[in-house]
Structure 1
Amino acid sequence: MWYYVYVLKSQKDGKFYTGYTKDLKLRFEQHTNGEVSSTKDRRPLVLIYFEGCLNQQDATHREKYLKTHHGKMFLGNRLKSYLTG
């Protein structure tokens, strides 16, 4: 079974949300429909990045890393052309 680490960007405030899930499509629909309390007031949201992991432990570790300063720098470099337009 795959687990996914994902990053959403709020088109309302321009901020990012990082999370993980077993079902990326369902989780994105939940965010889009306002069913997730941490993002419901920040809609609309765009899925800008995701990674697949082979187990939940790897996904949670990757999620925690992407929320650190170095993880945010990694994402900034990885998405440089997207973020700069």
Structure 2
Amino acid sequence: MSHTVRQKEKLIARVRRIRGQMEGIERALDTEAACAEVLRQLASVRGAMNGLTAEVMEDHLRQHVLAAETDAARRDGGEELVEVIRTYMK
């Protein structure tokens, strides 16, 4: 069972909080809130996304690399993580 399935409810709750933050940004823009307020909200969403990304990456590393049952599975898990990190860093 994948780590994202085991932690499904926790991860979905985090995504829903992020969605709420994004809706707050939309409301702030719609009501012409001060740009400093919008920037603060954007920074909060970015932090929340970074936290969620880090959690899923860490869980992937722990399950698919550190706890992999075979060398081939460990290599595959590591290569998947390298690809994700490259995409994330763009």
If asked which structure has higher relative contact order (CA below 8 Å, sep 6+), I would say: 1
> What TM-score do you get using the length of structure 1 for normalisation?
0.27
More strand by share: 1
Q: Which has the larger Rg?
A: 2
> What TM-score do you get using the length of structure 2 for normalisation?
0.26
More helix by share: 2
